[in-house]
Amino acid sequence: MMDSTYIFKIVIGGAGAVGKTTLLHRYLNGSFLPNTTMTIGVAFHAKEIYYENIQKRVKLSLWDLGGQERFRFLQSNYSAGARAGIVFFDMSRIGTITQVKNWVDMFRSHASPGIPIYLGGTKMDLLDDSQIDEVSSIAMETAQNYGLLCYVPTSSKRGDNVDALLQHIVDSLLARCQGPMEKALASTNRVLPHEARGNACIRP
């Protein structure tokens, strides 16, 4: 059987300084980067994943969109062709969740109305358990209100749920490709493991 290759573009948005770039660094390099520079407009990252058991190769193109409002007029163009989107907010600054709707609207307008969008909370390590529960309650309500597939709290510092979130999205995108092997792979991983409090993944 010859290998097949899928190319998935994922757009990542959220308010400025919520930790998008730090989270992507953790995902791509497996380490915590405490100091990052502001993303000017957009930053592009790539990662390749090989599923040996089904002989499928996935090439991810990850588009990190800067959170500052002055870049927004450029970013709508970069959303075109995206297969999934993630909108992050800072769990230690709950006010950043108010910007989620703007990002969701942009992704749906310029990628596709049916694009699967996930909500992610960052900097979970800065909160105690009761605070996580309180913030997660607000986040789950936000995800439901805007029709988002999943809410996941993360910590780039500790690595909580970072790999699991992206892997969940890739597996779900493979399942949408309709092949029986892709569906079998993703069916075992539709719900994220509860590595941290507050996970609320919805089966796509």
- Domain carrying residue 81: 4-201
Report yes or no: 116 and 86 within 8 Å, Cβ to Cβ: no
CA distance 142 to 135: 11
Q: How confident is the model at residue 56 (pLDDT cuts 50, 70, 90)?
A: confident
- Global pTM reads 0.86
Per residue in 81-124, pLDDT (tens digit) is: 999 999 999 999 999 999 999 999 999 998 888 999 999 999 99
User: Rounded to whole angstroms, how far apart are CA atoms 115 and 97?
Assistant: 20
Q: Determine the average pLDDT of the residues in 16-22.
A: 92
180 — pLDDT class (breaks 50, 70, 90)? low
Q: What tokens were used for 38? A: 């502001």
Residue 63 has pLDDT above 80, yes or no: yes
The pLDDT of residue 27: 97
pLDDT higher at 70 or 51: 51
Report pLDDT for 85: 97
Q: What angle do CA 161, 127, 96 make, to 5 degrees?
A: 80
Q: How far is CA 158 from the centre of its chain?
A: 17
pLDDT grade, residue 5 (50/70/90)?
A: confident
Distance CA 135, CA 153 (A): 9
- Residue 160 pLDDT > 90: yes
Structure tokens at 49: 């994943």
Q: Give me the percent of the chain exceeding a pLDDT of 90.
A: 60
Integer angstrom CA distances of residue 89 from 49, 187, 189? 27, 28, 24
Residue found under tokens 């989620």: 100
Element (H, E) at 140: helix 129-145
How far the first Cα of the chain sits from its last, in Å, is: 29
Mean pLDDT for the stretch of residues 151-176 = 93
Q: How many domains does the chain have?
A: 1
If we measure between CA atoms, which residue out of 111, 124, 88 comes closest to residue 198?
124
Q: What is the CATH number of the domain that holds 31?
A: 3.40.50.300
